[in-house]
Structure 1
């Protein structure tokens, strides 16, 4: 019998993500905006940004400890996320010249994104060890067992991959902000603040790509965006054993609901579309309906 992860891997489309693609100049403009949002003087590194000696897990609740462990797994799966983009936006002779140029411009973002997400993984690893939540060798082995599992997405279109990342990055940012608000441990507060700011920038980049796609291609990209929301799962939901039970536990620790991010997708759609169409209106109604009652009432 095949596992869920094998089924998901088999469902991933092969090769270049389907269009319509943005012109390379549009991608380059979005990448440039993203890179300017974090000049060299504002970047941070794991080794010098935090007072690791002051980290103290005794100041965390059991739920907060569990949340730190959970988000470390999510961030540490970065090679899987990067591998997905390498497969779906290839930089070789399997694509024509125009597609290669599009993918090459996107790659300027992807490598910086990967660097920043890998820094997040290292920061959370360092926090767990410094605070006494885990021991280095044990934690490496635990992360390795999960990290060896595949990460796939069943979406055919490029705009679907961007819309997925938009929701996922915003949901992650929201969670870090809300966990930070209830934590009484200064080092973890600082770590979560750094991570949250980076995730906000990542969200803004993907929102830019989705907005540009809607402006250029209109109704042609509505259905691929709708498909993302219809089957949305956060990373590792289909591969991590006990994911849903653990996810509910860490949601309680920070009063979190990932569908809070859907409101931000609706804003992107509304901002992008000047002339409303039936398909666009149906999309915004559908996304709003997918929010949980609690999330909708909180808006």
Structure 2
């Protein structure tokens, strides 16, 4: 059995998970079948670029099995780890299964919109999603905090994009879908921000280098596997005036709230994150 170094104390993780679940009661849940007036969906009200954006984000969201598997492999809940590690990972699992359910709902909602609005028929879309979904996904990290720092940026960037795309589309059904998605992504970001905050307060400068490495090598999901990713990503960014590094300022805010007084390594981290945003 192995022990995973660098794990957050289980009490801190429990508090973060409990906070997320308290902010996600069953009364706030929504389902694909009844939340939207699918009969009114009309891709004819979208520009070509907006339709392309819907197709792109559907592919990204639908890769959920690969994203979920990352947590299963790096935070296993089986006899490959010792009991203290299992205890930590089992608490995290309470979050990841709820997160996975919500992300899978996002994928289904976007696919349903494509079908209802006339962008794609269901059989063709299912086959297209399978081609990309079949490809592996991983995050090449060594320190546990990196998985949460990566997701902090990714969830916030996704939230921002959904909000900005919503503000420019003319189909009320798609706007309603994007509103639901962005609210969920905001809660996912809040959880990741809470965990990263707790890491900074508990481990201080010891997690600065791992977080810096995440920003230095950051790529949005599927950037290395989706054919034509960069050309497509630039196109959809123009549709909603989007830049994923806008999420970096929110990472800086998390860092500032987490530390009572900046150390030299934290100052250097903030300066580096700011420079990445400025360069973009």
Whether these two folds match at TM > 0.5 is yes
Deviation of residue 293 (structure 1)? 4.6
Deviation of residue 149 (structure 1)? 0.2
The answer on whether the counterparts of 1:215 and 1:273 sit within 8 Å (CA) in structure 2 is yes
Q: Which residue of 1 aligns with 2:235?
A: 249
Deviation of residue 255 (structure 1)? 0.1
Gapped regions of structure 2 (runs ≥ 5): none
Q: Which residue of 2 aligns with 1:198?
A: 184
Gapped regions of structure 1 (runs ≥ 5): 1-14, 295-299
The answer on whether the counterparts of 2:58 and 2:110 sit within 8 Å (CA) in structure 1 is yes
The answer on whether the counterparts of 1:18 and 1:156 sit within 8 Å (CA) in structure 2 is no
| Distance in 2 of aligned mates of 1:276 and 1:291 | 20
Corresponding position: 1:115 with 2:101: yes
Secondary structure of 2:167's partner? helix
Corresponding position: 1:149 with 2:132: no
The answer on whether the counterparts of 1:17 and 1:88 sit within 8 Å (CA) in structure 2 is no
| Distance in 2 of aligned mates of 1:204 and 1:161 | 14
The answer on whether the counterparts of 2:3 and 2:82 sit within 8 Å (CA) in structure 1 is no
| Distance in 2 of aligned mates of 1:118 and 1:16 | 31
Give TM-score, length-normalised by structure 2: 0.98
Provide closer, same or farther for how the CA distance between residues 64 and 170 of structure 1 changes in structure 2, counting only shifts above 3 A.
same
Deviation of residue 97 (structure 1)? 1.0
Q: 5 Å matches for 1:33-182?
A: 33-182=19-168
Give the 4+ runs in structure 1 shifted more than 6 A: none
Provide closer, same or farther for how the CA distance between residues 16 and 118 of structure 1 changes in structure 2, counting only shifts above 3 A.
farther
Secondary structure of 1:47's partner? coil
Deviation of residue 96 (structure 1)? 1.2
Secondary structure of 2:5's partner? coil
Q: Which residue of 2 aligns with 1:258?
A: 244
Q: Which residue of 2 aligns with 1:11?
A: none
| Distance in 2 of aligned mates of 1:115 and 1:193 | 17
| Distance in 2 of aligned mates of 1:61 and 1:204 | 32
Deviation of residue 16 (structure 1)? 7.6
Corresponding position: 1:211 with 2:197: yes
The answer on whether the counterparts of 1:16 and 1:87 sit within 8 Å (CA) in structure 2 is no
The answer on whether the counterparts of 1:50 and 1:191 sit within 8 Å (CA) in structure 2 is yes
The answer on whether the counterparts of 2:3 and 2:85 sit within 8 Å (CA) in structure 1 is no
| Distance in 1 of aligned mates of 2:206 and 2:95 | 25
Deviation of residue 275 (structure 1)? 2.4
Q: 5 Å matches for 1:211-290?
A: 211-290=197-276
| Distance in 2 of aligned mates of 1:289 and 1:103 | 34
Aligned length: 280
Provide closer, same or farther for how the CA distance between residues 290 and 156 of structure 1 changes in structure 2, counting only shifts above 3 A.
same
The answer on whether the counterparts of 1:17 and 1:89 sit within 8 Å (CA) in structure 2 is no
Provide closer, same or farther for how the CA distance between residues 16 and 159 of structure 1 changes in structure 2, counting only shifts above 3 A.
farther
The answer on whether the counterparts of 2:161 and 2:240 sit within 8 Å (CA) in structure 1 is yes
The answer on whether the counterparts of 1:17 and 1:157 sit within 8 Å (CA) in structure 2 is no
